[in-house]
Amino acid sequence: MYTRSGPEDMIKLEAKHWTVVGDLMVSFNLPGPIPDAVWRDYCDTIASPQVLKVLAASIGAVEVDSGQRQQINLALRTAPQTMAAIVTDEAIVRGLMTATAWLGRVDLKAFPWHRVADAYRHLAPTGIGEKQALDLVDEVRARVEAAEPRLAK
């Protein structure tokens, strides 16, 4: 069972790296490690009852350590189970996500960037239309890249 780091009313529906609209969380990360405090907030939000679908996009290799992998795995499996679509051009990452899904523990599918609309359609979220969701991907990405220009491509 996933243990949240704080009260449920402390989840962040919007942060630098993500925004929640309807039952969909759209997130974006640049290459490199993610600080533990940010990761905990991310997992807490995913495990919240509002988030049922996650569209997680990245450029480059995002570094997630074993503890963080365990946290996200538990957050995605918290009832009701969250469905995830990973958007990246990193073929190795997409392969790892496919292998994880085959294990049957987490409902996720990986997509390259040119198929980001397919990722949205696969998730079929409620409370947000396709255009709004795709615009949100661009908005969250721009927000992250503006805050960390040295890492943006």
Q: Tell me, what CATH number does 127's domain have?
A: 3.30.750
DSSP single-letter state for residue 23: T
Domain-located, residue 8: no
Domain-located, residue 7: no
Domain-located, residue 6: no
Domain-located, residue 36: yes
Least confident of 36-40, 91-95, 139-143: 91-95
For residue 108, pLDDT beyond 90: no
Which of the four pLDDT bands, split at 50, 70 and 90, describes residue 140?
very high
Domain-located, residue 124: yes
Residue 109: phi and psi, rounded to 5, are -145, 145
Higher pLDDT, 133 or 147: 133
Burial of 73 (0-12, 13-18, 19+ CB in 10 A): middle
For residue 107, pLDDT beyond 50: yes
Tens-digit pLDDT profile for residues 41-64: 999 999 999 999 999 999 988 888
Contacts of 24 (CB under 8 A, 6+ apart): 51, 52, 53, 54, 55, 123, 125, 127, 128, 133
Count of the separate structural domains present in the chain = 1
Domain-located, residue 141: yes
Contact 17, 45 (CB under 8 A): no
| pTM as predicted | 0.86
Domain-located, residue 152: no
Contacts of 118 (CB under 8 A, 6+ apart): 111
How far is the CA of 50 from the CAs of 13, 19, 45, 112, in angstroms? 9, 12, 8, 26
Q: What pLDDT is attached to residue 1?
A: 44
| Residue 55 lies in domain | 14-147
Give the whole-angstrom CA distance, residue 12 versus residue 74: 18
Give the whole-angstrom CA distance, residue 53 versus residue 18: 13
